């Protein structure tokens, strides 16, 4: 009887909570760095000399009358766990939104300065923030607070649109005898970015995820408040020199805003483009070489095309005024990658005889010799963050890694919510997370120092996400 009574109470309480009208608010915070900060995204960082377009933390707050959630997307390559912790500490203290109810992710623009590493290079779960990281954490919290100030009655809708023409697998099998050695002197089974039109191409080692997932909020029957979207496109690139740029993500947000009626009126419409699961995909069609384009031309083309397709999808969505909100957050027992003694010996030998970095370009064996030794001295725990957000009948799962497309597709298929998708680079940066199958194939994304966690990380993450999704279901 007690069990039946508890189930009845839970059902009635859930229905009552869902009956409360949804409210939503959105805002942006500028997180553009000072000139001179080091641009990250390659092996050898270099100082930025110009701001082509501003970087932002784009923020959305939802309130179902009982629970509040915040979703934040930052124009960054990624952000360290400690940045997310500090930002969420501010948010909880200043808005009352629990830290576990806040999802913060990076877009993966390669034209931003460092929010990943600390004052000392290495693999640490916690560290003191740099001045820029403190600034980012503060601005994220300000953006969420401003979004909360703008909470107002809202309707919500979910949709998807497939846009396959911009996403392509970048890991390829090559003809026998065509595979170059990796930095460790070994031969992988696949190569990352083998070159468009390479005559040695055989077939890609996976399939991209072409689906854009869309959560739309509007004032009841009226103007749009925000669109939170996720697309599994690594980044586009093609900047001019040492520019700072939000890449196609920023262009997309501006293009979608321009398409909204009254998008620039106060409070302004806020578009958000999170990165889905794009660790093995990019914007290069390796089968068909394309002519070199002017700086920013390709990212603008992709952004405007994607924005137009998302906008068209908005016209046919089914809207509702209630959405039960819930969240789960865990830090998983995922191990740092184990470094064998023979690899340490290789690293020390390589450092003893390899040339130093010259002319802004890195010697790959030397770069990985340093990474391998630092990874061998990683902090005892990863504190690997994983999160689930429930927004009505929508479920978002997170990953703190550059995550392969097949992982995102698996979550969408196995989630107890039919409307599900994943967002990567959330609450931390732990390198690439290949699936066990891809570890066997090798390639850039599996090298120690590019991949920093155990080969079962994707399996452990998937199990945790599905457990948490079942809890909020």
In degrees and rounded to multiples of 5, residue 54 shows phi and psi of: -70, 150
Tell me, yes or no, whether 165 lies in a domain: yes
Q: Rounded to whole angstroms, how far apart are CA atoms 324 and 320?
A: 11
**Contact in structure between 118 and 67 (CB atoms under 8 Å):** no
Q: In the block, which residue shows the tokens 């409070």?
A: 267
Helix extents (H) in 20-164: 81-95, 131-149
Q: What is the pTM of this model?
A: 0.94
Tell me, yes or no, whether 354 lies in a domain: no
Tell me, yes or no, whether 314 lies in a domain: yes
**Contact in structure between 88 and 95 (CB atoms under 8 Å):** no
Tell me, yes or no, whether 191 lies in a domain: no
Tell me, yes or no, whether 440 lies in a domain: yes
In degrees and rounded to multiples of 5, residue 209 shows phi and psi of: -105, 110
Please give the residue range of the domain that contains residue 32.
19-171+199-336+378-472
Using alpha carbons, list the distances in angstroms from residue 137 to 29, 113, 228, 247, 301.
11, 14, 21, 21, 31
**Eight-state DSSP code of residue 120:** S
Tell me, yes or no, whether 358 lies in a domain: no
Tell me, yes or no, whether 365 lies in a domain: no
CB atoms within 10 A of CB 196: 14
Domain count, the chain: 1
Per-residue tens of pLDDT for the chain, all 473 residues: 444 444 444 444 444 444 578 999 999 999 999 999 999 988 788 999 999 999 999 999 999 999 999 999 999 999 999 999 999 999 999 999 999 999 999 999 999 999 998 777 889 999 999 999 999 999 999 999 999 999 999 999 999 999 999 999 999 999 999 999 999 999 999 999 999 999 999 999 999 999 999 999 999 989 999 999 999 999 999 999 999 999 999 999 999 999 999 988 999 999 999 999 999 999 999 999 889 899 999 999 999 999 999 999 999 999 999 999 999 999 999 999 999 999 999 999 999 987 655 544 568 999 999 999 999 999 999 999 999 999 999 999 999 999 999 999 999 999 999 999 999 999 999 999 999 999 999 999 999 999 999 999 999 999 999 999 999 99
Tell me, yes or no, whether 363 lies in a domain: no
Q: Rounded to whole angstroms, how far apart are CA atoms 157 and 172?
A: 38
């Amino acid at each position: 009887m007690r069990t039946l009574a508890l189930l009845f109470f839970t059902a009635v309480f859930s229905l009552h909570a869902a009956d409360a009208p949804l409210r939503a608010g959105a805002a942006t915070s500028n997180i553009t760095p000072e000139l001179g900060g080091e641009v990250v995204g390659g092996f050898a960082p270099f100082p930025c000399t110009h701001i082509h377009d501003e970087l932002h933390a784009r923020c959305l707050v939802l309130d179902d009358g009982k629970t509040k959630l915040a979703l934040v997307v930052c124009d960054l390559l990624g952000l360290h766990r400690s940045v997310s912790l500090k930002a969420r500490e501010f948010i909880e203290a200043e808005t009352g939104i629990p830290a576990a109810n806040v999802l913060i992710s990076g877009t993966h623009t390669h034209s931003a300065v460092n929010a990943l590493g600390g004052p000392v290079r290495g693999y640490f779960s916690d560290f003191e923030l740099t001045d820029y990281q403190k600034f980012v954490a503060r601005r994220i919290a300000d953006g969420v607070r401003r979004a909360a100030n703008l909470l107002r009655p809202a309707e919500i809708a979910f949709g998807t649109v497939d846009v396959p023409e911009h996403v392509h697998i970048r890991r390829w099998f090559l003809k026998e005898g065509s595979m170059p050695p990796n930095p460790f002197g070994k031969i992988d089974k696949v190569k990352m970015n083998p070159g468009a039109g390479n005559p040695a191409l055989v077939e890609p080692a996976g399939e991209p995820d072409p689906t854009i997932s869309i959560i739309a909020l509007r004032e009841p029957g009226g103007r749009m408040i925000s669109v939170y979207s996720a697309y599994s496109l690594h980044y586009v690139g093609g900047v001019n020199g040492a520019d700072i740029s939000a890449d196609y993500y920023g262009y997309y947000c501006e293009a979608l805003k321009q398409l909204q009626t009254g998008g620039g009126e106060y409070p302004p419409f806020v578009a958000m483009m999170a990165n889905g699961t794009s660790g093995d995909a990019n914007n290069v069609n390796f089968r068909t070489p394309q002519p070199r384009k002017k700086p920013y031309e390709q990212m603008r083309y992709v952004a405007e095309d994607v924005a137009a397709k998302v906008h068209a999808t908005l016209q046919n969505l089914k809207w509702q005024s209630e959405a039960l909100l819930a969240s789960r957050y865990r830090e998983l027992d995922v191990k740092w990658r184990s470094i064998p003694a023979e690899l340490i010996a290789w690293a020390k030998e390589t450092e003893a005889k390899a040339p130093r970095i010259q002319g802004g370009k890195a010697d790959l064996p030397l770069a990985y010799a340093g990474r391998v030794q630092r990874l061998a001295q990683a902090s005892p725990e990863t504190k690997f963050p994983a999160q689930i957000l429930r927004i009505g009948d929508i479920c978002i799962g997170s990953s703190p890694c550059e995550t392969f497309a097949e992982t995102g597709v698996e979550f969408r298929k196995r989630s107890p919510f039919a409307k599900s998708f994943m967002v990567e680079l959330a609450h931390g940066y732990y390198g690439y997370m290949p699936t066990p199958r891809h570890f066997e194939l090798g390639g850039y994304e599996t090298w120690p120092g590019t991949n920093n966690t155990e080969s079962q990380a994707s399996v452990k993450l998937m199990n945790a996400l599905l457990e948490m999704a079942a809890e909020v279901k």
